């Protein structure tokens, strides 16, 4: 009896191993566990055994039944899984094609406009030192304007000549990096991320994007700056966009100006977006300060330059009527999808 049970267990194991369809599983179920199977009728045979042999035979019978049952069940599950995997009649999963981020689109568009105007596009470094983020830009250590550029400092030993390491708080240090390596004539724009420890709200983020631009050559003057920026405004916003230059202060430019464009929504008539002024501030600019040129060993008696810096998020928000800067960084597909370019 025990030998017979062992034999059946072995047969079942082999048969189940080579099963390939659900139907075969059902056949084996009938063959090994069905009403007419040896196992189903084995209880009666046990009754005819000598009393001392019955307990072991009963136990073995049960464990063989259990084993075959669970092997069949396991096989059935794995076959079902396989069949699902290759069921070509099931509807497929739609493949979502992603698009570029709205900020990428705006950066590309602005850079293309400046490229058309003769500028080249370069990258800067997000990790800077005090020398490049401040000193070389005419912002000495004790200069009060440094407070305006609240800064994330890195927990690294300071460089002996360049000071502490930091996350750049504006893209202006790339002016220094480029002028240090190359001689005029230069006309460059540098897009990139900048960092400031601001509390996040609808109009602030601790990381945002700027585009820096500058040109250096002999006899560059403020009207070149105006010409370039007016053209930029017309091409990036609309052909009838007007610009307003307001005197301002930046340590790295002299004279300096803040530039407003005529409000995109009301064309200057006054509305809630421009706070009824008709104007929207979009960038800072000016003639590169002689001290900045000196810092990169360019002689200010021979060369002049203009520079400007703009916030990309602000421009994108104005251009598309977006009221909360956090939307750019929250990765909501419904928001992002609106800006996919085909
Ligand atoms: N770096 C300034 C800022 O982050 C923006 C800026 C102003 C850049 C005037 C310039 C400039 O190049 O000339 O607020």
83's CB contacts (< 8 A; 6+ apart) are: 22
Q: Answer yes or no: is the C-beta of 133 below 6 A from any ligand 1 atom.
A: no
Percent of the chain clearing pLDDT 90 (strictly above): 63
**Ligand 1 atom 6: residue of nearest CA:** 309
Pocket test for ligand 1, best of 216, 246, 253, 309 (most atoms within 8 A of CB): 309
CA dihedral angle for residue 46, residue 48, residue 49, residue 55, rounded to 10 degrees:
40
Strand locations in 46-124 (E): 120-121
In this predicted model, what pLDDT tens digit does every residue of 288-310 receive, in sequence order?
999 999 999 999 999 999 999 99
Q: Higher confidence at residue 342 or residue 266?
A: 266
pTM, whole model, 2 decimals? 0.74
DSSP 120-138: EE----SEEEHHHHTGGGT
Upper half-sphere CA count for residue 80 (Cβ side, 13 Å): 7
Average pLDDT, the chain: 91
Point out the least confidently predicted range of 51-55, 84-88, 155-159, 267-271.
84-88
In this predicted model, what pLDDT tens digit does every residue of 174-221 receive, in sequence order?
999 999 999 999 999 999 999 999 999 999 999 999 999 999 999 999
Percent of the chain clearing pLDDT 70 (strictly above): 98
How many Å apart are CA 132 and CA 135, to the nearest integer?
Answer: 6
Residue 32 sits at φ, ψ, to 5 deg, of -95, -30
**Ligand 1 atom 7: residue of nearest CA:** 284
Please report which confidence band the pLDDT of residue 84 belongs to, taking 50, 70 and 90 as the band edges: low
Atom of ligand 1 nearest to the CA of 306: 13
Q: Is 126 exposed, middle or buried (0-12, 13-18, 19+ CB in 10 A)?
A: middle
Q: Answer yes or no: is the C-beta of 309 below 6 A from any ligand 1 atom.
A: yes
Distance 18 CA to ligand 1 centre (A): 74
pLDDT at 73: 87
pLDDT at 92: 84
pLDDT at 161: 96
Report how far apart, in Å, the C-alpha atoms of 336 and of each of 126, 156, 341 are.
25, 37, 11
DSSP 249-285: EETTEEEEEEEEEE-TTTTTS--TTTTTSSEEEEEEE
**Ligand 1 atom 13: residue of nearest CA:** 285
Q: At what angle do helices 102-116 and 222-236 cross, to 10 degrees?
A: 130
- Cβ pair 176, 138 in contact under 8 A: no
For the record, the structure tokens of 171 come out as 């893209």
In this predicted model, what pLDDT tens digit does every residue of 119-137 receive, in sequence order?
999 999 999 999 999 999 9
pLDDT at 18: 85
Domain range summary for the chain, segments of one domain joined by +: 2-84, 102-337
Residue 287 sits at φ, ψ, to 5 deg, of -90, 130
DSSP 170: S
Q: Report whether pLDDT(281) > 90.
A: yes
Residue 238 sits at φ, ψ, to 5 deg, of -155, 165
pLDDT at 342: 65
Tell me if the domain spanning 102-337 has CATH number 3.30.930.10: yes
CA angle, residues 71, 77, 78, in degrees to nearest 5: 90
Q: Report whether pLDDT(83) > 90.
A: no
């Amino acid at each position: 009896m025990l030998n017979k049970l062992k034999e059946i267990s072995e047969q079942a194991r082999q048969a189940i191993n080579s099963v390939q369809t659900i139907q075969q599983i059902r056949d084996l179920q009938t063959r090994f566990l069905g009403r007419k199977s040896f196992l189903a009728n084995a209880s009666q045979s046990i009754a005819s055994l000598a009393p001392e042999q019955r307990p072991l035979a009963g136990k073995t019978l049960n464990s063989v039944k259990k084993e075959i049952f669970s092997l069949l069940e396991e096989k059935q599950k794995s076959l079902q899984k396989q069949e699902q995997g290759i069921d070509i009649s099931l509807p497929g999963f739609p493949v979502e094609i992603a698009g570029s981020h709205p900020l990428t689109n705006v950066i590309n568009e602005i850079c293309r406009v400046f490229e058309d105007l003769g500028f080249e596009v370069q990258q800067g470094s997000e990790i800077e030192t005090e020398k490049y983020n401040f000193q070389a830009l005419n912002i000495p250590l004790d200069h009060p304007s440094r407070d305006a550029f609240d800064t994330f400092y890195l927990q690294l030993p300071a460089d002996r000549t360049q000071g502490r390491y930091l996350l750049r708080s504006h893209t202006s240090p790339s002016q220094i990096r480029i002028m240090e390596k190359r001689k005029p004539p230069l006309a460059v724009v540098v897009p990139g991320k900048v960092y400031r420890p601001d509390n996040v709200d609808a109009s602030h983020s601790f990381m945002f994007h700027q585009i820096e631009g500058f040109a250096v050559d002999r006899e560059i003057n403020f009207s070149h700056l105006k010409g370039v920026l007016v053209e930029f405004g017309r091409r990036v916003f609309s052909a009838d966009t007007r610009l307003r230059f307001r005197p301002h202060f930046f340590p790295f430019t002299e004279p300096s100006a803040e530039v407003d464009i005529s409000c995109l929504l009301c064309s200057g008539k006054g509305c809630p977006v421009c706070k009824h002024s008709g104007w929207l501030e979009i960038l800072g600019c000016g003639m590169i300060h002689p001290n900045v040129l000196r810092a990169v060993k360019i002689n200010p008696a021979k060369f002049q330059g203009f520079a400007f810096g703009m916030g990309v998020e602000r421009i994108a928000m104005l251009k598309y009527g977006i009221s909360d800067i956090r939307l750019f960084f929250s990765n909501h597909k419904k928001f992002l999808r609106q800006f996919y370019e085909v």
